[in-house]
Amino acid sequence: MRYIWWKKMLGIFVVSQIAFPILAAGPKIISVSINTEFDEDDPQFCLGAKPTIPGRLYFTRKNESGKWDIYWARYETQKKGLGKAEQVGPQIQSEGDDQSPLAMAEGVFPQLLFFASSKDKSGAPRDIYAALRDGPLTSGEERGFGPPRGVSGTITKEDEFDPWYQDVGTKQCALYFTRLTNNGPRIYYCLATKTPGSVPNYQEAKLVEGIPSGFCSPTLTPDGKKMFLQGQVEGTVKQGIFLSNLQSGNWTTPQLIAALSFTEAKIGTVSPRLNRDGKTLYFASDKPGGKGGLDIYYVAINELQLPK
């Protein structure tokens, strides 16, 4: 009589002296309901300031003419999903490309929205703008954002995009963003004193040392110790999501998050954005199984095996 025995040891099942590696389940990657056959990109799910306030997904969509516009879709509690996607409003929309939306908490007014826009025409260099929304109308209808203005510290002749707001202590805040330089995209940041209810007056931007050329779309955990980025996957022409850690005051060389790199995708994985609680990562990808082109997905951070 043959006895077949097994045991789990260091991630290996041993059966009759033949070793088989355990295939660990990958992270659960979820598609959002607003995806269409058009490209969707730049996702940010803006959490409500309280559990009773529904969150909202901000994102961009490319129309038939190739222009990018900013949309939002509110989370509907009864539906347990996103409602209808609509353009943010006429004050934000321009003749050029409007991209990279980043909003502060839902339900706190005035609400601040950062975004990048080429304003005059599609394909022109972008600058970072900010606009305020006073609040919802008493009838329950949406009140739109007011006229945007350029964000100090970020306005140059270069192309600037991908803004990310970060608290730095109790009195200061930082705005991280991407600037397209002669050496490729680089990550910059500028500091300001917090000014609740208005747009901070940011100082001159500084280069983030340690993050090499080629990376863009910075998004940081609440403690400011991890930075997720978009960059080119080595040996390919595809984009992927990378992680850099702040160690002893310096950012480490970004490392690819392998679980978010999809072999059959042509563009790859782009535009990472964390929820403000740092628990969920949104991104766009043209991986198989989508509606067409770039689609928006999200994944729980605790399901990813992050590089050290």
* 296 belongs to a structural domain: yes
Q: What is the 3-state secondary structure (H, E, C) of 182-241?
A: CCEEEEEEEEEECCCCCCCCCCCCEECCCCCCCCEEEEECCCCCEEEEEEECCCCCCEEE
Distance of CA 276 to the CA centre of its chain: 11
* 246 belongs to a structural domain: yes
* 179 belongs to a structural domain: yes
Residue 255 pLDDT greater than 80, yes or no: yes
- Give per-residue pLDDT as tens, 171-205: 999 999 999 999 999 999 999 999 988 999 999 99
The pLDDT of residue 24: 56
Span 290-304, average pLDDT: 97
Distance (Å, rounded) from C-alpha 232 to C-alpha 214?
7
* 7 belongs to a structural domain: no
Percent of the chain with pLDDT over 70: 92
Residue 57 pairs with which residues in a beta bridge?
45, 73
Residue 120 pLDDT greater than 50, yes or no: yes
Residue 18 pLDDT greater than 50, yes or no: no
The CATH number of residue 239's host domain is 2.115.10.20
Name the least confident of 14-18, 85-89, 166-170, 184-188: 14-18
Domain that holds residue 225: 30-303
Global pTM?
A: 0.90
* 2 belongs to a structural domain: no
The pLDDT of residue 8: 30
Q: Say how many C-beta atoms besides its own lie within 10 A of residue 251's C-beta.
A: 19
For residue 77, CA distances in Å to 56, 81, 232 come to 11, 7, 38
Number of compact structural domains in the chain? 1
Percent of the chain with pLDDT over 90: 83
What is the average pLDDT value for the chain, to the nearest integer? 90
Residue 1 pLDDT greater than 90, yes or no: no
Distance (Å, rounded) from C-alpha 31 to C-alpha 53?
23
Distance (Å, rounded) from C-alpha 211 to C-alpha 115?
22
* 4 belongs to a structural domain: no
* 160 belongs to a structural domain: yes
The pLDDT of residue 2: 29
- Give per-residue pLDDT as tens, 260-269: 999 999 999 9
